[in-house]
């Protein structure tokens, strides 16, 4: 796996450069969390993702764990991970979102809180479980673990036994565990944590993600034996009708295992 992660890093250099240039141009970021004022088409889109996921994650004892991935940055992983977690919480389920993006994690920002004492601190033995698990201000059923202070070895922390033990513990305490990760065609961190989850959803952004990159991401996940649960097409622009909130819409489609 380590060899593979190095290989994927080198192979994706050019595309990473192009994607980061694109992301820099769009570097002004907002955090969008659904509320009572959210247009109904947006909440409905999240509700349908939630409903599809509830049946597509394999049934077994304990909470269900889902990793949210994308090939390249800025496609909306954190937006989707956070709001999906909130939708589960609104249905009275106990949910936790883990910010496994130790490079540029922004989950705490979505809740207007600081990212001190989080996952990297817990996994490196510098913070207790109780100090890193926080209740989100958005909903009492929704907790989160921020990315923590930046770590020099995120991949190794995420594949460690400490991470596995943490996931085992969270499965006993929560109905859903949503893991937000950095883009997998740039950093392999999602591959380190995926084996401790039930599968991945991949996020692509309409008019931004390239088909060949999606194929590469699927190949990478397949090679790493990650169960791909489905894909979310973010920011889908339906030209047939006018959309509210800048064409904000989601589309969920299941992908048969191994099929591109
Ligand atoms: N459907 C949408 N409509 C409008 N803006 C959106 C939509 N989805 C995401 N955004 C905005 O795009 C930006 C990037 O989203 P987000 O941070 O969720 O992406 P990301 O994939 O997690 O990025 P990174 O890989 O860098 O962590 C944010 O400012 C977010 O508010
Ligand atoms: Mg993100």
Ligand with minimal distance to 202 CA: 1
**Residue 78 CA, ligand 2 centroid: distance in Å:** 4
Contact between residue 12 and residue 19 where contact means Cβ atoms under 8 Å apart: no
99 lines ligand 1 (CB under 6 A): no
Phi/psi at 209 (nearest 5 deg)? -85, 140
Tell me, yes or no, whether 258 lies in a domain. Answer: no
234 lines ligand 1 (CB under 6 A): yes
Whether 245 has a pLDDT exceeding 60, the answer reads no
Tell me, yes or no, whether 179 lies in a domain. Answer: yes
**Residue 200 CA, ligand 2 centroid: distance in Å:** 15
Long-range contacts made by residues 17-26, C-beta under 8 angstroms, separation at least 24?
19/72, 19/73, 19/74, 19/183, 19/185, 19/186, 20/73, 20/186, 22/74, 22/208, 23/72, 23/73, 23/74, 26/74
Q: Report the CATH number at residue 174.
A: 3.40.50.300
Tell me, yes or no, whether 207 lies in a domain. Answer: yes
Q: What is the pTM of this model?
A: 0.85
**Residue 218 CA, ligand 1 centroid: distance in Å:** 21
> Which atom of ligand 1 approaches the CA of 73 most closely?
25
Tell me, yes or no, whether 260 lies in a domain. Answer: no
Q: Where does 118-237 show beta strands of DSSP type E?
A: 134-135, 142-145, 176-180, 199-205, 228-234
Summarised one tens digit per residue, pLDDT across range 154-184 is 999 999 999 999 999 999 999 999 999 999 9
> What is the domain range of residue 87?
2-253
Greatest Cα pair distance in the chain? 53
Summarised one tens digit per residue, pLDDT across range 214-232 is 999 999 999 999 999 999 9
Mean pLDDT over each residue of the chain, to the nearest integer: 84
SS3 142: strand
Tell me, yes or no, whether 259 lies in a domain. Answer: no
Tell me, yes or no, whether 134 lies in a domain. Answer: yes
Alpha carbon nearest to ligand 1 atom 3, residue: 248
Q: What is the tally of structural domains in the chain?
A: 1
């Amino acid at each position: 796996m380590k060899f593979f992660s190095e290989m994927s890093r080198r192979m994706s250099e050019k595309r990473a450069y192009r994607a980061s240039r694109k992301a820099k141009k769009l570097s002004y970021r907002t955090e969008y969390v659904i509320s009572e004022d959210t247009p109904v088409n947006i909440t409905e889109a999240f509700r349908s993702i939630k409903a599809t996921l509830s049946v597509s994650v394999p049934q077994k004892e304990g909470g269900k764990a889902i990793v949210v991935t994308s090939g390249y940055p800025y496609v909306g992983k954190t937006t989707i991970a956070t709001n999906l977690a909130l939708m589960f919480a609104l249905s009275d389920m106990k949910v936790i979102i883990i910010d496994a993006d130790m490079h540029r994690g922004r989950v705490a920002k979505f809740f207007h809180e600081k990212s001190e004492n989080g996952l990297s601190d817990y996994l490196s033995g510098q913070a207790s479980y109780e100090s890193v698990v926080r209740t989100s201000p958005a909903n009492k059923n929704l907790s989160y673990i921020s990315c923590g202070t930046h770590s020099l070895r995120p991949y190794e922390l995420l594949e460690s036994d400490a991470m596995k033990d943490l996931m085992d513990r969270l499965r006993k305490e929560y109905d859903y565990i949503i893991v937000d990760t950095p883009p997998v065609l740039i950093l392999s961190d999602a591959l380190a944590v995926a084996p401790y989850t039930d599968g991945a959803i991949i996020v692509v952004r309409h008019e931004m993600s390239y088909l060949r990159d999606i194929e590469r991401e699927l190949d990478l996940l397949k090679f790493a034996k990650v169960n791909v649960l489905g894909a979310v097409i973010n920011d889908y622009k339906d030209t047939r009708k006018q959309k509210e909130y800048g064409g904000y819409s989601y589309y969920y489609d299941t992908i048969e295992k191994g099929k591109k």
